[in-house]
Amino acid sequence: MKITKEITIEDLVHLKVDAVRYLADKGIKCIACGEPIWGTLEEAAREKGFKDEDIAGFVSDLNAM
């Protein structure tokens, strides 16, 4: 499964467990970090102030993991 900015956080962490640490390092807390978030990767990143180019970088990095 290819990761896109539209992937839900729940699906992402099920697909790539290492995504939890990656997102936490970017300041985006998720399920295992004690701050559950729902919605998409894009929504979570935008809530933290990330822009389109940042989100595209996250998608690229996560697909490379």
Q: Which residues lie closer than 8 Å to 63 by C-beta, 6 or more apart?
A: 2, 3
CA 59 to chain centre: 8
**pTM of the complete model:** 0.85
**What value, to the nearest 5°, has the Cα angle with vertex 31 and ends 16 and 10?**
55
* Distance, CA of 51 to CA of 65 (rounded, Å): 21
Q: What is the pLDDT of residues 1-55, one digit of tens each?
A: 899 999 998 899 889 989 988 998 998 876 555 555 678 999 999 989 999 999 9
